[in-house]
């Protein structure tokens, strides 16, 4: 029995454009009516098209599929199948990483709300980072811009990272800078090189907290003044610049607000 192109499209649930593409690639060779140029397919053609759909659902490209169902010998088929297995394994690994990162982010969002305005002593994350914006001005150095572009390929595993430099007496923060950071597990996963301007920031004892900044251009070192008050009360002194990251931006009481997690390195005063 013979079938028109529309019939085959309905039988297989695919478009007529795809059928014409398979014909162009030589996968099927429907007969043509010389009078009206209609295409007619037989069950042999449909069998080949079912093979195409089989391989398509494994993620093979259409040119690969055309080769596999028409020109591929047995010994050439095995490497193609093995290569696709490797691709699928890599895809699964990538999806597992994304799921892990999303769970981490969900935990951060819950954590930042819990610690809003509260302080505790805990080690900060072990990260690598670099800075590309100081207060409100981006550094236009071409090498730094190139590095920024490279790092953006690590999304969503990187984090929006900030540092707040301390006053000479260590009593408060004066200026801030922004950039990106990656925690140790992802540095190792992606084999990220660590060389200037990228810096390693090891885990150290810190005052940990979270704060909110609401509205445009409201982010300020003054947001963490209370960390220094806490340090004084608990017998600690600042031992380095504060560091942290933007956890999320949400609409809060009608105002777009950023929620931030922050760590201030400290040492116990004797």
How many other β-carbons are positioned within 10 Å of the β-carbon of residue 120?
10
Rg from Cα positions in the chain: 29
Query: What percentage of the chain has pLDDT greater than the value 90?
Result: 67
Q: What is the mean pLDDT of residues 135-164?
A: 92
pLDDT (tens digit, 9 = 90+) per residue, 91-132? 999 999 999 999 999 999 999 999 998 999 999 999 999 999
- Spatial neighbors of 88 by CB under 8 A, at least 6 apart, are 58, 59
Q: What is the mean pLDDT of residues 152-163?
A: 96
Confidence of residue 197 (pLDDT cuts 50, 70, 90): very high
What domains can be seen in the chain, in order of their start residue?
A: 3-72 (1.10.1660.10), 103-268 (3.20.80.10)
Q: CA neighbours within 13 Å on the CB side: how many for 127?
A: 22
CA pair distance 14, 253, nearest whole angstrom: 49
Does the pLDDT value for residue 69 go beyond 90? no
Residue bearing tokens 């070192």: 221
- What is the predicted pLDDT for the residue at 31? 86
Nearest partner of 22 among 69, 78, 73, judged by Cα: 69
Lowest mean pLDDT among 16-20, 36-40, 63-67, 117-121: 36-40
What are the backbone dihedrals phi and psi of residue 219, each rounded to the nearest 5 degrees, phi first? -60, 130
Find the helix or strand (DSSP H, E) in which 82 lies: helix 74-114
């Amino acid at each position: 029995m013979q079938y028109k192109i529309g019939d085959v499209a309905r039988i297989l649930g695919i478009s007529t454009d795809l059928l014409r593409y398979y014909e162009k690639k030589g996968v099927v060779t429907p007969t043509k009516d010389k009078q009206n140029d209609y295409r007619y397919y037989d069950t042999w053609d449909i069998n080949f098209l079912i093979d195409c759909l089989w391989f398509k659902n494994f993620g093979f490209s259409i040119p690969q599929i055309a080769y596999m169902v028409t020109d591929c010998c047995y010994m050439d088929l095995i490497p193609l199948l093995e290569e696709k297995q490797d691709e699928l394994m890599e895809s699964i690994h990538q999806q597992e990483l994304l799921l892990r990162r999303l769970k981490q982010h969900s935990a951060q969002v819950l954590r930042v709300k819990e610690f809003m305005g509260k302080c505790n002593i805990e080690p900060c994350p072990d990260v690598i980072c670099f800075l590309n914006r100081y207060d409100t001005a981006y550094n236009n150095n071409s090498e730094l811009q190139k590095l920024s572009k490279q790092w953006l390929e690590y999304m969503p595993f990187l984090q929006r990272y900030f540092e707040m430099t301390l006053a000479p007496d260590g009593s408060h923060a004066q200026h801030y800078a922004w950039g990106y950071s990656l925690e140790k597990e992802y540095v190792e996963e992606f084999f990220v090189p660590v060389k200037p301007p990228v810096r390693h920031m090891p885990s150290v004892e810190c005052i940990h907290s979270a704060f909110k900044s609401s509205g445009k251009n409201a982010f300020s070192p003054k947001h963490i003044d209370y960390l220094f008050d806490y340090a004084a009360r608990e017998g600690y002194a600042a031992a380095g610049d504060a560091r942290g990251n933007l956890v999320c931006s949400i609409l809060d009481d009608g105002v777009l607000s950023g929620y931030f997690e922050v760590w201030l390195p400290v040492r116990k005063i004797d």
